[in-house]
Amino acid sequence: MNMPNAEEGERRNQAPGALHKAVYTSNPCAFCAGYCCAARVILSTVEAQRLALTLALPLKDIVDAVVFIAADATQVDPPPIPLADGDHVLQLARSLETQSCKFMMKVNGQGRCGVYALRPHVCALYPYQMEIDGERLNVGSQKRCPVGWMTTDGVEDRLMERYQLLMEDHAQERKLLDAWAVHSGTDRSWRAYAAFSQAWTVETLGFPAPPTLPTGRKRLGQAMW
């Protein structure tokens, strides 16, 4: 881990202020206004559909399909999606007003995630740098953080659990893309992929099915279902 442990963090907290950030804590997010929520977040289709189906929102309200640029890819990005107009990745949608994540909320002036329990894996791993199986994994930068990070055994365990979930979702993503390659035929549009991936994640991964409206006319005041 690229941050002091609890004992070292406490020692630094007692050091002269000019030598370090004002405070080291294992939960700096509690002291932050949500600066990282303005960063670009790439997520897998599996993660995006999990959000969309759980919140009963169309996929287009969750993510934007953007052109894949290999030079911008990170170690934790999912594989690109082959569409008719080239390879794409899914970027978490932003608010047109603030240019931050559209799910960020302001609570007493503090930025807070409105979908915290469902937040993408990269958000949960940010801004840690870890060594896993001899490979150094970088997820974001602590430069955005107003408070210094430190680690504990509990933090490291949670990060490893989250990293394993990320890898599991990426494995499912590759299966989804293999199925898409077989199914897509002549219609390889973003709209066709969104519909296909929704049906695939519901059937294969057991995600909640999208809500449907009842058919037939209803009189005013009559129960809808």
CA distances from 30 to 10, 113, 135, 186, 193 (A): 18, 11, 30, 49, 38
Q: Is 26 helix (H, G, I), strand (E, B) or coil?
A: coil
* Per-residue DSSP letter, 206: -
pTM of the model: 0.79
d(CA 26, CA 129): 14
Average pLDDT, the chain: 83
Ramachandran class of 104: left when φ > 0, alpha when ψ lies in -120 to 50, beta otherwise:
beta
The pLDDT of residue 22: 53
CA–CA distance, 139 with 205 (Å, rounded to integer): 27
Of residues 141, 120, 150, the one with CA closest to residue 47: 120
Which pLDDT score is estimated for 130? 72
**pLDDT > 70: what percent of the chain?**
82
